[in-house]
Structure 1
């Protein structure tokens, strides 16, 4: 199977719609999926496995859990895979079980799982729909096409993270099933069965030959052929010597005794041969039963060779039975949908007849509506009159209140003007406070930096004194290590000279100077020093030297830091001036005073803006209120005229209404009942139309399901015919006349083992008896 394109929507980490075109990689058999953790590498394999089998690559995640949390709620989670299998292209689409927003209204509804499978044309267009919607049908069809179920596919084709070790550690039976389906090893299995049968026959022949030899040896009371050869080799000299003694001393007596012994031995041999013959005769009585057992074993071996074809035939029959069941269910569903469609058509006709009453009801509804409208107009006129009269009175009262408010606004404006003059004077006095605050803030930062430098200078001075002491100590340690290493090396040379002196001999040349005389050979007066000890001392000397260099560098660095801090402190003292000699608290107090002045200046500025805005607002309010007063006076007169006009209209409309139409509540109740009846008739008509449409849709879907079931039945029948033909061909090629003989030849492992053991025991005993009888005859 070769993947061509993979499309994932709201799946795993992919919130949108992502498409992977594998054909862009060319025909290379290998490619790499690379990316950081969480980028979606495993999700690509999950999508392939989900598209084919509706499952992910591992049991840790279920298919319904693969929806992306960041995806839009209206976007369905779905996966589509286009692949090539045996030069034929297919496309499968799967949608898992998930929640989606309702098409109308609020809330969500459950989207059921669905799957479609198509066979494609060479150009990649959809040619034939193999599965229309059902998930189990798509899984079964894909499993039949690929030849692997989901677990085998995950173990062989798409190994998930951490699952390779499970394949390696799987049981032999599980691996045998996987690899036999993957590599089509049925033919090798049949060859293996035939070779195993031949090996069993050879083993039985060898066993019979060995039993025959054992029977001959048993007649001679010997354990093995090697024992026979050894016995013959041991007895040959003795026999020669005995023969010479018997021939020299008592040849006649020997012949007589030999004749007697031969007669007695011959008599015993005849008796033993008769006993063996009787045992063989009794043993041969089981020959017919053993032949029958051998025939049954041979038939079982032939039947075992036909087992793959028989299993394929049984599976095809089971698949056809399942397809027939689905066909019957689809037929029943189609009949039910036909019944529902007829009922919906009848309900639509009934609703159409009730529609004829609607025009009369609508005319009555119109008349009631007009009367109610006029009654409502009368009520509205009465309300408008009362409202207009109240508005007239309120407008007159508001006019008086606004005149009083205008006078109050003038007094407030005068008070705000006096307060603004006082605030502006204080603001001018605080004008220089921000600049002084900035300068003191900079001085405060410099003074804090100076204090920190002073503290660091003191700490560095202490560290420099400690580093100086450590340097002096390390210099002494280095000298001692150097002295000790030199002493160890000298002692090693002395020891080597003493060892060499021990090897010197009188009148023998010295290996160093060549002298024959050795007046003062070296003597070691101390413990010998080894080369390892010398190297250890030199290593200690080197470590001490490196430690001395580190101490010198550390002391030099501290000296440089102290000089740098001294220069920085001088620069800060120059910048601070007189504040450098005063306490830090004095500078902080001056800074706080300036900060409070700046805050007060900001408060005064905000209050000036606030008072200015309040004064401007009062001015605008005074102007608005003055204009409003000028406009209110004619409005009051106009409201009075409007109230009188409404009173006249109310009286005219009340006289135009009939007496029974002056009760709007009763008319509204009658109108509501009429509207309810009309709505029921309209709703019944809409429901009948919707029910008919739904039933027709369900009918079409049932017909589609029946067509799919018929196609599956047809494919299952073809598969059954092919399996039956293969079975019949294999059965004709076998020694069985019909299937009944094949079934009768079936043996389980226990029966096969029992018959084999019985035949081998019979043949072993027969070989022993024949070997013993043959020994007596020779």
Structure 2
């Protein structure tokens, strides 16, 4: 990433818009960001980090505190950063959530946070992301880092530059994974692990399936089934047992069949005898109904003879009913005719009355025609009167005196507002001068806070130094004791080994140690003979204590340096505070701080009051503008009222004269009365015409009704005469039929109810005849079958039969169960053989994949806790360490070099990417966090530069074109600072841009390109300066 431009507005200490064009550096690849404390140097780096990631660079700085305290309420806080990645250019604009003045009305409104990412395409900026998630993903994709990684590689923040140096293996692995795009190795690790777990799970599933199959096999509890061979033996042992079961089944089936045959013969015999008995009973019942059948036959014969008479009787009754209906209809028609003739007389009379009024109605039509001819003149008169009324009403609205009075009141209101506004302006100007002191007071409080923090740090370091001295004293004693013990055990071990060699020494034979033939003093057995393991343990204890002592001494040196640095800082800060605050002393710190706090509270309250006054002033100014406009409008209105009143007076006179002329010509006093009469006359004529039409229609309808009713009466009279003659003929034939069978009409009518039931009687008679014939046939058949059936001699009881059936069912069930179990065992054996065959191949695969998985994921068969990706990253880290040491050894005068910790020793946790510092003065390596402040800065800077060199050499898509360093140079002595500067100067040849924040005076003279930050009462400013 290479910066092109940075724009800040109302950001941190910068009130106004600050635009920084990095092209101004004119080829200078190193520049110094300089300025007084608190002016806003780090805020420039915060702006870059906030634009990219939506958060400031430091952990203590929060997003909601980046808006400038100097900003005007209507000014929006915004940042814009343009940069290049290789040949591509990008621009990011970001606004935080903030309170700004409303565009309309008064008060504040909350502006939501927003961000937009642009890319330069074909010479134009094109939006590529606006949503929060899309912006975050786009920035990480473009830059190649998360924020925490960016702060370890590109921007080294104040107080946080040592993170990359002292990071754990896990943290450093995540960073290197992102930088060098080693996702391929991680995916390979995961793929091998998944394959191994899948294969191992396959074996477990196979074993589980075999166990399930074995458990499903039926067997005796005393004979467990554990293997496939057990299953085969079980199948072989079951074959003879099935033959026995088959013989038992055949015998049981034969016995049940014999019993069934005998029981069937008895059932047939009993059934035949019962059928004969039932047939005899049914025949007796039918014979008992013979008298009833004979009586019913005689009645049916008698009723059948009445059929001809009954037909004439029905015909006579129908004719009588028809005649009665016709007579009734004739009477109704005659009544309707009388009614219609009465209605006709009434309609005729009503029509004659209306005809008598025709002459009067004709005179009314003539009058209506005359009135309608005068309608146009009357309408004109009515319109003229309405216009006159409107003009008179409108003239009343124009009051010249009232308009003059309103204009006078408006002018007085303007004068009062002008006086109030001038008073407010004087008060606000006075208050602003007073509140401008708040920034000076806050700066003094900030300096006091820093002094208090450093003082607390000095006290903490002093307590730590006391503890460290006490700890070193104890360690020194422990080291001395361990050394004495080690030397004693080594001496005793040598004596013991010499004693063992004494047994090998023979007289007149050379000594196996020195070769001498004389042995004046052979070694004696020592009182204590330690083992080699005990000596090694004592040696390890001594070495561990020496290493611990060296580390503690290094930590003590670090504390001594930190205490000296802190004391120097305290002295400098106390001098600075004394020059800033008259009469300041450390003893008066609390009183001074309390006084400044009171000033801040008073000035903050005054600022709030001033803001209220400013709002009031703005409202008054708006009221003044409105009042001045109102006075102008009132003056114009006054002139308009006078002019319009005169014009209306002239027009009223003209319209009044025209109204008078029309009223005289028409001789009508009341237009509304005339209009009412005209309407009533029209309604009267219309009603008369409608009544005449209705009367004529009703008269014609009545005449048609009378004519129709007369025709119906004549028709029904003729039909009644014809029907009466027909009825007399049928009556005569009916009486003759009764005489033929010697019955009178009353006797015939008594038999009518039975005659109508004749069909029912015939059906009952048929049923009785059929029942008798059927019962006789059934009895004869049963008697014949009984005669041919022989009674059995032997019998089988129900108990004996049920016992035989139960025995047969039990044996058949046992045989079916036996076959089912055998089939189940055979199926289980087939499954087990398939599973066992697959198990061999699976075990080979698991063993092979297990070795690969251990090797790739840091298992027991590889490097313990070192994954394949971590191994690759370790090789890359070796390159980074090599590149870093080229600078670190020079800057530390060949004392320090970085090295990667050995990871072959096992242990827990992630390993393989830990860093240590080799101290050439002691010949031992130690943790990086034991370095002093200046040493830590040099090592961190060398590591960051080495990482940048290696990243640039890889084709990984990460561009390390820029690095920013915030502070740290103040911890270096002059000689080391010179070496560090030479190292940075050499980097300029690589084209990499380096930005440095520092208060060290030597850097100002060594670096010609400056980004100067200047602090003012109304906020800070920044600009590039080339010396």
If the TM-score is normalised by the length of the shorter chain, which range does it land in?
A: 0.3 to 0.5
Name the one with the larger helix percent: 1
The higher-RCO structure (CA 8 Å, 6+ apart) is 2
TM-score using structure 1 length: 0.32
Larger Rg: 2
